[in-house]
Amino acid sequence: MNDITDNAIVAALGRQMTRAVARETVAASNLANLDTPGYKAREATFADALDDQLGTTPLPMAAASGGASIGAAASAAGGTREVEGVAARRDGNSVQLDRELVALTRASADFSAAQTALAAKFRLVRYAINEGR
Protein backbone atom coordinates (compact mmCIF):
# COMPACT_ATOMS: atom_id res chain seq x y z
CA MET A 1 0.00 0.00 0.00
CA ASN A 2 1.33 3.44 -0.92
CA ASP A 3 1.04 5.81 1.99
CA ILE A 4 1.33 9.49 1.20
CA THR A 5 3.03 11.13 4.14
CA ASP A 6 3.18 14.76 5.14
CA ASN A 7 6.90 14.65 4.41
CA ALA A 8 6.25 13.46 0.85
CA ILE A 9 3.68 16.20 0.26
CA VAL A 10 5.96 18.95 1.56
CA ALA A 11 8.88 17.59 -0.49
CA ALA A 12 6.77 17.45 -3.67
CA LEU A 13 5.57 21.02 -3.15
CA GLY A 14 9.16 22.11 -2.57
CA ARG A 15 10.26 20.46 -5.83
CA GLN A 16 7.38 22.14 -7.67
CA MET A 17 8.45 25.53 -6.32
CA THR A 18 12.09 24.85 -7.29
CA ARG A 19 11.06 23.93 -10.85
CA ALA A 20 8.92 27.06 -11.12
CA VAL A 21 11.82 29.25 -9.97
CA ALA A 22 14.10 27.54 -12.50
CA ARG A 23 11.62 28.18 -15.32
CA GLU A 24 11.26 31.83 -14.26
CA THR A 25 15.05 32.21 -14.19
CA VAL A 26 15.47 30.72 -17.65
CA ALA A 27 12.68 32.86 -19.14
CA ALA A 28 14.13 35.99 -17.52
CA SER A 29 17.53 35.15 -18.99
CA ASN A 30 15.96 34.80 -22.43
CA LEU A 31 14.25 38.16 -22.02
CA ALA A 32 17.53 39.74 -20.95
CA ASN A 33 19.05 38.51 -24.22
CA LEU A 34 16.14 39.61 -26.40
CA ASP A 35 18.34 41.93 -28.46
CA THR A 36 21.56 39.87 -28.39
CA PRO A 37 22.51 38.86 -31.96
CA GLY A 38 22.91 35.11 -32.39
CA TYR A 39 21.40 34.25 -29.01
CA LYS A 40 19.39 31.01 -29.04
CA ALA A 41 16.41 30.81 -26.70
CA ARG A 42 16.69 28.18 -23.95
CA GLU A 43 14.09 26.19 -22.02
CA ALA A 44 14.26 24.44 -18.69
CA THR A 45 14.08 20.65 -18.88
CA PHE A 46 13.21 18.29 -16.09
CA ALA A 47 13.10 14.82 -17.66
CA ASP A 48 16.44 13.82 -16.13
CA ALA A 49 15.44 15.09 -12.69
CA LEU A 50 12.14 13.23 -12.93
CA ASP A 51 13.93 10.05 -13.95
CA ASP A 52 16.27 10.39 -10.98
CA GLN A 53 13.34 10.85 -8.59
CA LEU A 54 11.22 8.03 -10.03
CA GLY A 55 14.02 5.68 -11.09
CA THR A 56 12.45 5.21 -14.52
CA THR A 57 13.49 5.44 -18.14
CA PRO A 58 13.59 8.88 -19.80
CA LEU A 59 10.28 10.54 -20.59
CA PRO A 60 9.78 13.14 -23.35
CA MET A 61 8.98 16.04 -21.04
CA ALA A 62 10.07 19.67 -21.05
CA ALA A 63 8.98 22.75 -19.16
CA ALA A 64 8.56 26.35 -20.25
CA SER A 65 11.05 28.33 -22.24
CA GLY A 66 14.23 29.68 -20.78
CA GLY A 67 17.71 31.20 -21.03
CA ALA A 68 21.44 30.52 -20.94
CA SER A 69 22.52 31.46 -17.42
CA ILE A 70 20.09 29.51 -15.31
CA GLY A 71 21.43 29.56 -11.78
CA ALA A 72 21.46 26.83 -9.18
CA ALA A 73 17.70 26.24 -9.15
CA ALA A 74 17.54 25.26 -12.82
CA SER A 75 20.74 23.24 -12.61
CA ALA A 76 19.44 21.27 -9.65
CA ALA A 77 16.10 20.76 -11.33
CA GLY A 78 17.42 19.32 -14.58
CA GLY A 79 19.16 21.95 -16.72
CA THR A 80 18.32 23.66 -19.97
CA ARG A 81 18.35 23.01 -23.67
CA GLU A 82 17.96 25.11 -26.78
CA VAL A 83 14.35 25.64 -27.84
CA GLU A 84 13.56 23.66 -30.98
CA GLY A 85 11.19 24.68 -33.75
CA VAL A 86 11.43 28.42 -33.11
CA ALA A 87 12.26 30.64 -36.06
CA ALA A 88 15.25 32.92 -35.63
CA ARG A 89 15.25 36.54 -36.70
CA ARG A 90 17.71 37.86 -39.29
CA ASP A 91 20.26 38.56 -36.54
CA GLY A 92 20.12 34.89 -35.48
CA ASN A 93 18.28 35.54 -32.19
CA SER A 94 15.44 33.09 -31.53
CA VAL A 95 13.90 34.70 -28.42
CA GLN A 96 10.20 35.53 -28.80
CA LEU A 97 8.82 38.10 -26.36
CA ASP A 98 5.30 36.63 -26.21
CA ARG A 99 6.60 33.09 -25.60
CA GLU A 100 8.82 34.23 -22.74
CA LEU A 101 6.10 36.32 -21.09
CA VAL A 102 3.74 33.33 -21.20
CA ALA A 103 6.49 31.14 -19.71
CA LEU A 104 6.99 33.64 -16.88
CA THR A 105 3.26 33.78 -16.20
CA ARG A 106 2.89 29.99 -16.14
CA ALA A 107 5.90 29.54 -13.88
CA SER A 108 4.60 32.22 -11.54
CA ALA A 109 1.19 30.52 -11.39
CA ASP A 110 2.81 27.13 -10.66
CA PHE A 111 4.89 28.64 -7.86
CA SER A 112 1.86 30.42 -6.42
CA ALA A 113 -0.24 27.24 -6.46
CA ALA A 114 2.46 25.24 -4.67
CA GLN A 115 2.98 28.07 -2.18
CA THR A 116 -0.75 28.21 -1.44
CA ALA A 117 -0.91 24.45 -0.87
CA LEU A 118 2.16 24.55 1.36
CA ALA A 119 0.71 27.43 3.38
CA ALA A 120 -2.54 25.48 3.83
CA LYS A 121 -0.58 22.47 5.03
CA PHE A 122 1.23 24.59 7.63
CA ARG A 123 -2.05 26.19 8.72
CA LEU A 124 -3.39 22.70 9.43
CA VAL A 125 -0.31 21.88 11.49
CA ARG A 126 -0.61 25.16 13.40
CA TYR A 127 -4.31 24.46 14.02
CA ALA A 128 -3.54 20.98 15.32
CA ILE A 129 -0.89 22.36 17.67
CA ASN A 130 -3.12 25.14 19.02
CA GLU A 131 -6.15 22.87 19.51
CA GLY A 132 -4.10 20.62 21.78
CA ARG A 133 -3.78 23.36 24.42
Q: How many CB atoms lie within 10 A of CB 49?
A: 19
Contact (Cβ atoms closer than 8 angstroms) between residue 83 and residue 41:
yes
Provide the whole-model pTM: 0.71
Q: How far apart are CA 119 and CA 23, in angstroms?
A: 22
Query: 92: alpha, beta or left, given left = phi > 0 and alpha = psi -120 to 50?
Result: left
User: What's the pLDDT at 124?
Assistant: 87
Tens of pLDDT, residue by residue over 73-101, are 444 445 888 888 899 999 999 999 999 99
DSSP letters for 39-94 = PPPEEE--HHHHHHHHT--------SEE-S--HHHHHHHT-EEEPSS----TTS--
